Amino acid sequence: MQLLRTIAFIVIFYYLFRFLARIFGPVLFRYASKKAQEKHGRSQHSRNQGGNREMRKEGEVVIEDTPVNNRKERTPASGKKVGEYIDFEEID
């Protein structure tokens, strides 16, 4: 009897979840997509408002590189520097 009661609760909750998801799903999806769109718009706006960049002509190519001292060197998780990688082939 307990097994049938448990199965009945599972089935009832399943159909209740499906019903509620059908009602509230589109509303939640619209809300999430609106928030994502706003976030994307803010990031684009801040990127376009870059403070010290001068206006460039259309088609002009500029390569901006970070200084060497700011680059992170590849190190393992322990933080110790490792020697250079050597590729080798096995000889029979």
Domain range list for the chain: 1-48
pLDDT of residue 84: 76
Nearest in space to 53 (alpha carbons), one of 64, 43, 45: 64
CA distances for 12 relative to 2, 4, 66, angstroms: 15, 12, 59
Phi-psi region of 72 (alpha: psi -120 to 50; beta: other; left: phi over 0): beta
pLDDT of residue 52: 46
Alpha helix positions (H), the chain: 2-48
Contact 27, 35 (CB under 8 A): no
> Which residues of the chain, if any, have pLDDT below 50?
51-52
pLDDT of residue 50: 57
